[in-house]
Amino acid sequence: MDEDPTAPTPVVLGVDDIRPLPRATRIARTSREGIQLLQEHRDGFIDELWLDHDLGGEDTIIPVVALMEEAAFNGRPFQIGTVFVHSANPVGAETVVRSLTRWNYRVRRATA
């Protein structure tokens, strides 16, 4: 079956300090960039959001997760098809999965 050339390109965002994430249409390398990226897509649909827990040095994905939790708490969750958590940090990854699942985001654990 051929793909429809008029179909919109899926929006696949990633927040990861080192991985290339070849499927991503945009990648943020820090939590600050991740927050900006999500805010730029605030009123649109994000097909996939890929999150790494450890973002280099003391930086983690937690500020991005907090933004998503706050949006859901305020009744305006980000419109995301699936959030994929891909981290080599199992405790950090599980924290992200639990936090976002609690706010009804569709979350999947992916291998790092």
Number of helices (H) and strands (E) in the chain: give both, helices first: 3, 5
Q: Is the pLDDT of residue 7 over 90?
A: no
Task: Tell me the residue type at 7.
Answer: A
Is residue 52 within 8 Å of residue 65, measured between CB atoms?
no
Beta carbons of 46 and 80 less than 8 angstroms apart: yes
- To the question of pTM greater than 0.75 for the whole model, the response is yes
Note the pLDDT tens digit of each residue in 22-56. 889 999 999 999 999 999 999 999 999 999 999 99
Cβ of 12: how many Cβ atoms within 10 Å?
A: 19
Please report which helix (H) or strand (E) contains residue 4, including its range: none
3-state DSSP assignment of residue 96: helix
